[in-house]
A and B are shown apart, each in its own frame.
Chain A
Amino acid sequence: MARITAGVASSHIPLLGVAVDQGKAGDDYFSPIFKGYEWTKEWEKAEKPDVVILVYNDHASAFDMKIIPTFAIGCGERFKPADEGWGPRPAPDVEGHPDLAWHIAQCLILDEFDMTIINEMDVDHGLTVPLSMMFGTPDAWPCKVIPLAVNVVTYPPPSGNRCWALGEAIARAVESFPEDLNVQIWGTGGMSHQLQGPRAGLLNREWDNKFLDLLIGDSDAARHIPHIEYLRETGSEGIEMVMWLIMRGALGKATKCLHRHYHIPCSNTAIGHIVLEPIT
């Protein structure tokens, strides 16, 4: 049977993709950021996941204002890096896992999560930057990827509680897939950042670290954090952290922290990264 063996969370700042693509990861500005991912790169080489369910948000690349799905699952064979206005990233195409993706989509809908199914779309930095941070610069990504896009741009985004419950339902769906697969779930985005208005540039080290603490162990307090708290404490774009709760929800009652990294700043944003294992 397929099983979720680990959860990974990471910021997905576009500038990190630029740093990777232009070979700048070792310079003074970027090296403290990339050092925090070295442990994970080695760990991923040993773990060899078959599939990653990658929770992210699209940033005006695949979706414009015409259609705004709250939760969308990529069921296609292949997804290309998006042209975000300056040409697509020179990153490998993302290979999907349509069998597992369609299985999860069907299970979620029966479980009362009315998913949007996407067969064709390009994937932007929200999805490709975490792959680069965890896997480096291979010619092909070492695993299949199921994109799971969440609306965190147009209000209201889904509640933290709903995200957590979706994670729980994803775990049930994966466990009922007959093939023996090592599946990881990643939550991306965040941490504190605000990209708009006179308050832009807000960062909150203390709150971000409290949030990281809440993902470890058997607390489920994070699922009840209201949107207004993310907005006030972590800036308007900090709301992306609700996507981390899909990852956390999928890991079950309790988690163990394998690795953790926090760094300020990268461009406008606080970088956070955590690797969790379910305690069964």
Chain B
Amino acid sequence: MQDIHAYLAEFEDIPGTRVYTAKRARQGYHMNQFAMSLMKAENRERWKADERTYLAEWPMSEEQRQSILDRDYNRMLDLGGNIYFLSKVFSTDGLSFAEAVSSMTGMTFPEYRDMMNNGGRSPEGNRSIKGGY
């Protein structure tokens, strides 16, 4: 049987990546369920009319609420968000997947798109923090 502690520890060694572990899934449960609620048109309308009031209905930390209001996707991931659920937030904002993804990379959307069209980000040096390969 694989050791769960060793299995999880390795995930911390991947640069620029938050693996959606049980710990994150628990921390971000209400944040992700909030995002899922935007699948319904009537909820989207209420959300757009007053974001802060809508968020107050969900038992989240103030940090989590603020990260959503700021559309700070890296911060949302840190606080337990998962990109597939959070995609309901950026879809409601009218952003494409690629544009929302680019906001996490420190690049502008055109820069990110150029990188993708030129073969994407290389795995070279991006596989391991400790190993540097």
What is the interface of chain A, defined by CB distance below 8 A to chain B? 14-15, 59-61, 64-66, 83-86, 153-156, 159, 192, 194-205, 207, 227-228, 231-233, 235-236, 264-265, 267-268, 270
Contacts and interface: CB of A to CB of B under 8 A. Distances in A.
Interface in B46-88: 73-74, 77, 82-85, 87-88
Contacts of A270: 120
Interface of B: 2, 7, 10-11, 14-22, 25, 29, 32-33, 35-36, 38-39, 73-74, 77, 82-85, 87-88, 91-92, 96-98, 101-102, 104-106, 112, 115-117, 119-123, 126-128
Contact of B18 (A83, A197, A202, A232): A197
15 contacts: A59-B87, A60-B82, A64-B33, A85-B88, A85-B92, A155-B19, A194-B17, A194-B121, A199-B16, A199-B126, A200-B101, A201-B115, A202-B121, A228-B11, A231-B17
A155 B22 CA distance: 6
B112 A201 contact: yes
Q: Report, nearest first, the 7 A-B pairs whose CB atoms are least far apart.
A: A203-B120, A199-B16, A198-B16, A232-B127, A201-B121, A60-B84, A85-B91
A202 B124 CA distance: 10
Contact of B128 (A83, A159, A204, A232): A232
B2 to A, nearest CB: 8
B87 to A, nearest CB: 7
A232 B12 CA distance: 11
A198 B74 contact: yes
